[in-house]
Copies of this chain bind each other. A is one copy, B any other.
Amino acid sequence: MLRRHPERSLENPVFADAELDPVMPRAELARLEPELRNALLSQQELLRDRAERAVLVVVAGIDGAGKGSAINLLSEWMDPRGIRTLAFGPPTEDELRHPPMWRYWAELPARGSLGIVFGSWYTDFFKEAARKKPNAKRLASLAEDIARFEAMLASEGVQLVKLWYHLSRDAQRQRCEELEAHPDTAWRVSDADREVAKKFKRLRAAADTVVKATDFPYARWTIIPSADTSMRTYATAVAVRDALRRKHLPPTGATPKLDPSPDRFDGVDYDRQLDKAEYEAALAHWQGRLARAVHNPAFASRSLALVFEGSDAAGKGGAIRRLTHALDVRQMRIMAIAAPSAEALARPYLWRFWRDVPTTGRIAIFDRSWYGRVLVERVEGFAKPAEWKRAYDEIRDFEAQLVEHGTIVVKCWLAITKEEQLVRFRERESVPFKRYKITSDDWRNRRKWTAYRRAANDMFAQTDTDAAPWALIASDDKRFARVEVVKTIALAVEEALGIGKAED
């Protein structure tokens, strides 16, 4: 490794090596290339064959440092069929109608494959840090969001390889000037590139803030010296190769401890019921209230995510149908959540739910939901204790992001007694067109009634937040439950929009 400017004073130790603008002769790179390529290819083959983790290469750094070349390098030196480039620009209309992290979730690579991210979740953080007077609170909050997101990815089998491209001010300016000198390459120099030299110190300080705040043991930054093409190529290839060789280390935090949770079912009054006339009047009333609320102009900039959980035969399907009678089919979507597909299993747990979060102005109804992780997957042992215990945090964070974006989140648990469940199971068995609803799984789950109840109580204790509350709905009487569901949702929407109080 040659150093071109050994005399330069180093103002910032993080970028000290890179600002020396180290150079590698082309012949030296040519000599090293075959072995590097072999190593990258064989690591990629192992990655694919084992399919234990996905790798996400995050490409970031100072504008004009030649970040774009990393893609061409990796897709030339590795097998492009196992690589997906995820390049994000300013958010599109469609992206703006979802929470900010949605677009990154949608594109997460499957285990066994490699993604290269441009324009990642660092964009806003770097921009804020590069302002003349960064807002310290916003900086801290953005750093916190990144830490949480990356810890989740790392825990869920996504290895992060973060590359920061850097070079000295002189080298950056010189590179831009050389490109600008010729009409065939001038297009490569953007306005942002031209600005870099002027604000170099500020940008370097911002880079320092970003890198220091987000250099986690499970997601480290590598600084790529970018002034010289061969050196940049070499450093990129080595960083990716070394990351692929390393065993993926998820965050080592202790598994969260769960305190014993209070029994929320004790407070449910299962005897509540409505007669037919009361039911019809009340249902029509609350359907109307809900319909008017979601047709209110104020709803156009909001959205609604509805979660339905409960024991088997608690009446989720019937309640959802009464609810949807009040809604325009073009405005809503019902997701019947079954066992995850192979596609979903290859990605972080919440991936498939992120795909279905409601866009602005819309309603997403989840018939069973992301809570499967801490209910059926916990009780049946499909998720390891570390996984489902971690899930409470991940779910709170997920729902907080929805709420932050303006989504109204309402979660309904339909609660029935064990006796009522038995009555319904027997009825399902005796009516031919209801028989498909009852399987041996249902009887097996019933034998684990206590375990499910404990899981539900832990879930309430951990996820009944002000922003996204749980409603426990007594459902031994179907009529009462159906009205209660529509009423709960109508009131939540009215409250969120600040309307309808006068009607009560």
Contacts and interface: CB of A to CB of B under 8 A. Distances in A.
A330 B89 contact: yes
Interface string A137-181: 000000000000000000000000000000000000000000000
B76 A321 contact: yes
Interface in A78-118: 79-81, 85, 87-89, 92-94, 118
Contacts of A295: 187
Nearest to A183: B288
B184 A285 contact: yes
Contacts of A38: 432-433
Contact of A433 (B34, B359, B436): B34
Contacts of A71: 324, 329
Copies in the complex: 2
Interface in A298-339: 317, 321, 324-325, 328-334, 336, 338
Main secondary structure of the interface of A (DSSP, over half): helix
Interface string A342-372: 1100000000000000010000000100000
Given A75-B334, A183-B288, A184-B288, A328 B81 contact: no
A318 to B, nearest CB: 8
Contacts of A334: 75, 80, 85
A72 interface: yes
A328 B118 CA distance: 11
Interface string A369-408: 0000000000000000000000000000000000000000
Given A184-B288, A330-B118, A334-B85, A72 B321 contact: yes
Contacts of A325: 72
B118 A329 contact: yes
A255 interface: no
Contacts of A184: 284-285, 287-289, 291
Nearest to A437: B79
A37 interface: yes
Given A80-B367, A321-B75, A68 B284 contact: no
A122 to B, nearest CB: 15
B187 A288 contact: yes
A220 interface: no
Interface in A260-284: 284
B182 A284 contact: yes
Interface string A23-38: 0000000000010011
